[in-house]
A and B are shown apart, each in its own frame.
Chain A
């Protein structure tokens, strides 16, 4: 059974705090993602990593950074949390898409609910 595990399900942090959201996958996937999920806005990609120490900005990277020191672990960092970062954060992983038609399934974690007060 494939597993993407997010260490914290519910967090409450104060404005200005540094926040770490951890994600671990056990499928040896090269690609890992962080999304935030907001009502009416769907899933928006924050950062994407296609290999250890490699990362790409997604659509909304401002206020976030990431770390991928090991293949199985992808961390999302909020350097100085703000109230507009209150959201559900979803980690996901997948293997690379090698050619047209080969397809890849993205596996999601259960999500981390972050409230910034």
Chain B
């Protein structure tokens, strides 16, 4: 069965410190992984997807098929990174998109 696991409900990090939001997945086929972000009082929006292999707002995420992980990283946290982050998965031939439970990132000044 498809499953996305985000083990941390809340992550507090000091400004300037590195950030890593964990995401593990379970999927039998070829998955596509995403990170979505929801800033306060804004709608959910795409942050990045693994196929584009780009860095958005300083964040990167690498798909590790051996460990079935797609952790989100940023070397130096900024206060504006405080938000709710969701890892999501979809598969080839399956347009359903499954989300993890989310991690609230709180950047401390």
Chain B, interface size category, equals: 20 to 34
Task: Please give, as numbers and ranges, the residues of chain A lying within 8 Å of B46 by CB-CB distance.
Answer: 105-106
Task: Please give, as numbers and ranges, the residues of chain A lying within 8 Å of B44 by CB-CB distance.
Answer: 43, 90, 92, 108
The complex places the Cα of A43 from the Cα of B100 at a distance, in Å, of 7
Interface presence of A50 (CB below 8 A): yes
- The A-contacting residues of B in range 71-97, CB under 8 angstroms, are 86, 88, 90, 92-97
Residue contact A101 to B51, C-beta cutoff 8 Å: yes
Dominant secondary structure of chain B at its interface with chain A: strand
Residue contact B96 to A48, C-beta cutoff 8 Å: yes
Q: A97-B32, A103-B52 are in contact. Are A40 and B92 (CB under 8 A)?
A: no
Interface presence of B28 (CB below 8 A): no
Count of chain A residues with Cβ under 8 Å from any Cβ of B?
A: 29
- 8 A-B pairs closest in CB distance: A42-B101, A43-B99, A108-B44, A42-B102, A100-B92, A108-B43, A31-B95, A110-B43
What residues make up the interface of A, taking CB atoms closer than 8 Å to B?
31, 33, 35, 40-45, 48, 50, 56, 58, 90, 92, 94, 96-97, 99-101, 103-106, 108-111
